[in-house]
Chains A and B, each alone.
Chain A
Amino acid sequence: KAGVTQTPRYLIKTRGQQVTLSCSPISGHRSVSWYQQTPGQGLQFLFEYFSETQRNKGNFPGRFSGRQFSNSRSEMNVSTLELGDSALYLCASSLAAASSSVLTFGAGSRLTVL
């Protein structure tokens, strides 16, 4: 069974640009969550999607957005990039958006903003 796949793995952008990151969950998983990982703040929750609906959103500015498609694949977009957006963006999938579900993480997309 293939794991959670994130693309691209690495990317470099400049301030003001926008970026789109993609996540393909494990086959059969319908819930996708996104996290931002930085050395100072650790893992911070961005969004959670289930069946194309955003179920929950973290405390991030409106420049951060996401969506989920009918095949459960998800994308997140960051517009007007700032230096502080440099981070590892992790996607995780689970069978359902329930408290008993276990998250399986992807390898992440490492974004560097210059």
Chain B
Amino acid sequence: AQRVTQPEKLLSVFKGAPVELKCNYSYSGSPELFWYVQYSRQRLQLLLRHISRESIKGFTADLNKGETSFHLKKPFAQEEDSAMYYCALRGSGYSTLTFGKGTMLLVSP
């Protein structure tokens, strides 16, 4: 079975502070990991995926297979980063996308 855990329901930081949204997963094979974001009154959208190894809107995430983690990081948070962030896992082959329960990020001025 595959499982995604986001331990924090809410993360509140000040503008300019570093941000780390935690994501841990459970999967026996080689997963593909994603971060999706949902801004207020907008659709759920892909933020980044681990195989792309890219930085989107200043966010990065590194897959740590040893710790089975895929934490999302940004060195300096901006107010426009306030949103709901979901970590998601897809196993090999034709498997479903399993989401964590999400972390609400609030960035205060």
Contacts and interface: CB of A to CB of B under 8 A. Distances in A.
A42 B43 contact: no
A99 B46 contact: no
B59 to A, nearest CB: 16
Contacts of B91: 99
A11 interface: no
Interface residues of A, number: 25
A87 interface: no
Most buried by B among A45, A58, A100, A103: A103
A99 B101 contact: no
B101 A45 contact: no
A2 interface: no
A48 B93 CA distance: 13
B101 A41 contact: yes
A98 interface: yes
B71 interface: no
B98 A102 contact: no
A43 interface: yes
Nearest to B31: A99
B79 to A, nearest CB: 23
Nearest to A103: B97
Given A102-B49, A105-B43, A105-B45, A58 B101 contact: no
Interface of A: 3, 33, 35, 41-45, 48, 50, 55-56, 58, 90, 97-100, 102-108
Interface of B: 32, 34, 43-46, 49, 51, 86, 90-102
5 contacts: A3-B43, A42-B99, A56-B95, A98-B93, A104-B45
